[in-house]
Amino acid sequence: MDEILSVFSVEAREQLEAMESGLMQLEKGDHDAETINAVFRAAHTIKGGAGVVEIHSVESFTHVLENVLDRLRNGEIAVSGEMISALLLGCDHIGALLDLVARGQLDVDPDLAAAGAAISDSLQPFLGERKPAAVKAVLAEAEADIEREDADAAVNDCWHISIRFGRDVLKNGMDPLAFLRYLLNLGEVAHMTTLIDALPDAEAMDPELCYLGFEISFRSHASKDAIERVFDFCRDDCDLHILPPNSKVEEYLGLIESLPEETMRLGEILVKSGALTREELDTGLRRQSEVKVGAEDTPTPTLGNILIQQNSVQPEIVEAAAAKQKTISEKKAAEASLIRIHADKLDQLIDLVGELVIAGASANLLARKSAEGTLVEATSVLTRLVESIRDSALALRMVQIGETFNRFHRVARDVSKELGKDIELVITGAETELDKSVVEKIGDPLMHLVRNAMDHGIEPPAARAAAGKPAKGRVELNAYHDSGSIVIQVVDDGGGLNKDRIQAKAIEKGIIQPGDTLSDQEVLNLIFEPGFSTVEKVTNLSGRGVGMDVVRKNITALRGMVHVETEPGAGSRFTIRLPLTLAIIDGFLTGVGKASYVIPLDMVIECIELAGTSGERDYINLRGEVLPFVRLRELFEVTGERPTRENVVVVQYAGQKAGIVVDQLLGEFQTVIKPLGTLFRNMRGIGGSTILGSGEVALILDVQALVSRSANTEEQLARAGHGVSLLTAH
């Protein structure tokens, strides 16, 4: 049972996300019928699933939301901000109930039950009867339409009833005219033609037999089933066909489209939509079975064709039902091809693949040492297969970051309403893929940045108007791949960061001293210091100095970095750069003394020899460009003599280039990233470790830290007046 509840909880969460997304679209003005139907289907699916697993608290509460959405899709109520707000609160409550289910608690505590009751009460105004004024307006409009219609138009938009009474209807004690009079209780006859083609000559006429039939244009709001019930007593003694008016056909098409995504036969779809009655379906099925029995060699006609031939339903309605059936079948087939795997099992697979990579590297090394050609070739094939397995295994954990981005639409809505600001959230690059383990940990930092952009970044409407800006503020979430990393940007078009105010606040809090000289970037980076805030008044959203330091801490823990840019009056841009995966990467192996170091291959641009005349300088001239570099021998205090020939590995990170000076270039290497222990957590320049084929440990370089170190050194020299001359940088 626990497994069933777990599956229900996961699937209900997916439907809840779809429901929230649809409601947000409705509030933005997308009143398309398909959007409304999608929201309704999501609620219906949650309710149905809850009923199957007997989670009655979820089932009963979702039923209230479903009733509101049903009235919305039937056009009985209009979309409004109050209704969307109440429905979104309902989504939150369903989420809270699902949290209980995930913890194995099936009983709802009194506080949560009271919260659900309050939300249900807030939805009651949208469940009441239609207001009299609205009814009068609808009736008045309908009457005006009828008056404007000419006779032909009136007939065309009526039910078409074709009935031929059986010969023995009079003998059975029934009067055909009585049925027609009773029909008037449901509406009015716009036109009627009496069919007399079956009348025999007067000499052959039997006064006890009925020879009449009628073609009736009937104006009514009744359902097809209700009209058919008028003729229940003579149904077996007459030939009856009922076709809906043109306006009703469109309604049936909409109802078919809005039916739940359940496996149904064609006849069931037509009956559920109201386009076909159960009696008509049974008649069609009987005729189909008679054809099967009567002629075995004759192809069996489809039920849809039979229903069309017997004038039970229009061709376009049958086509819509067939299309709906095909869509459901394809969706079910696609779902059947998917399998849910517990994340722990996937992590275990990645760990095993990592061990396989290490074992493969060891076998390859031993084969090269043996100088046995056949063995070397065999291990090369093995290495290629291991690479393919590695790539496939890592692809299993890649998910689109859009799943994380989409939840911020709700955040933007709630925050903008709380702040009284009109803010638009624009998302690009939602299809960008990232390791699932990274996605799970990036949600909270992004939440802080988005909320801060709305609270601190976007100005109040009056201030924006005074600055000549549009009243609606704009916050962007962008994602894209760059040099083996994923870049996520949070951009706002607000007032920007006030550097003087930031510096003054940092001095006030003792973070820096009054005499300190800081670059513009260093001033901006002060916002990431613990406890730093420039807000004068604490609010529910910000002002306590908790958030930006957490952002940097969490991103750094993912081997990433965060960079901030700002332009006064134009807005700010926060750029997060993260590795695509935390498990296995392609690396470039280098050596310094007896130690080995791995550089992520995606960040390597080229390798060059370091000229012997470079001496103690920490920069070179790379084709007219100043390239600062870091000597690993000095950085890590490697003992021993410097070799006569040194090499520079040119790397790039976040648009900045730098060089890493090493003794040896050992080639590409599949790198299984092993995290450092807590003892080395704060070590700069090292991002992890890996195991070589020889069994030795190699350190993985933190290119971000090394590039930043080189850039800072160059900037400090420039501020000190020691400008770099390209004429001397050989």
What is the model's pLDDT at position 727? 35
Separation between Cα atoms, residue 401 and residue 488, nearest integer Å: 10
The token duo for 65 is 């939301």
Q: How high is the pLDDT of residue 148?
A: 45
Distance CA 16, CA 13 (A): 5
Q: What is the DSSP string of 368-405?
A: HHHT-HHHHHHHHHHHHHHHHHHHHHHHHTEEETHHHH
The SS3 call for residue 185 is coil
Using CA atoms, how far apart are residues 688 and 243, in angstroms rounded to an integer? 74
Give pLDDT tens digits for 568-614.
889 999 999 888 776 778 889 999 988 999 998 888 999 998 876 55
- Residue 81: its pLDDT value, please? 86
How many angstroms separate the CA atoms of 388 and 691, rounded? 20
What's the confidence (pLDDT) of residue 2?
65
Residue-level pLDDT at 133: 42
Contact 707, 651 (CB under 8 A): yes
d(CA 611, CA 645): 8
* Residue-level pLDDT at 162: 83
CB 334 within 8 A of CB 568: no
Q: Find out whether 38 and 47 touch, Cβ atoms under 8 Å.
A: no
How much is the pLDDT for 130? 42
Instruction: DSSP for 272-299, please give it.
Output: HHTSS-HHHHHHHHHHHHHHHHH-SSSP
Whether this model's pTM surpasses 0.75: no
- Looking at residue 495, the DSSP 8-state letter turns out to be -
Query: Hey, what are 567's tokens?
Result: 């332009």
Name the pairing type of β-strands 423-428 and 485-492: unpaired
Tell me which amino acid residue 497 is: L
Give me 60's structure tokens: 């009963």
For domain 400-579, the CATH class is alpha beta
CA distance 240 to 226: 14
Residue with tokens 């060089």: 659
Residue spans of the domains in the chain: they are 2-128, 141-334, 343-397, 400-579, 584-719
Query: 3-state DSSP helix/strand/coil percent for the chain, to nearest 5?
Result: 50, 20, 30
What pLDDT shows up at residue 493?
92
601-610 burial by CB neighbour count: b if 16+ within 10 A, else e?
A: bbbbeeeeeb
Same fold, 2-128 and 400-579: no
Question: Quick one: pLDDT at residue 475?
Answer: 93
**CB proximity list for 406: less than 8 A, separation 6 or greater:** 17, 21, 427, 430
For domain 584-719, give the CATH superfamily: CheA-289, Domain 4 (2.40.50.180)
pLDDT at residue number 647 = 92
CB 630 within 8 A of CB 671: no
What is the mean pLDDT, run by run of 10 residues, along the chain of 730 residues?
72 88 86 84 84 83 89 85 90 89 80 89 77 43 45 60 86 83 86 84 86 86 83 81 72 68 76 77 79 61 78 80 79 69 82 86 86 90 88 84 84 86 90 84 87 89 89 91 84 90 87 83 86 58 59 83 90 88 82 91 90 69 88 87 89 86 89 75 78 85 81 62 42
Measured distance CA(427)–CA(449) in Å, rounded:
14
How far apart are alpha carbons 581 and 673 in whole angstroms? 10
CA distance 286 to 307: 11
Q: Which CATH class is domain 2-128?
A: mainly alpha
Euclidean distance between CA atoms 516 and 524, whole angstroms: 14
What pLDDT is attached to residue 682? 66
Angle, CA 510 vertex, CA 504 and CA 515 arms, to 5°: 65
What is the C-alpha separation between 513 and 494, in angstroms, rounded? 29
**pLDDT the model gives residue 543:** 44
Rg from Cα positions in the chain: 37
- CA–CA gap between residue 335 and residue 407 (Å, rounded): 24
Residue-wise pLDDT for 662-672, tens only, equals: 999 998 887 88
What span, in angstroms and rounded, lies between the C-alpha atoms of 268 and 687?
A: 61
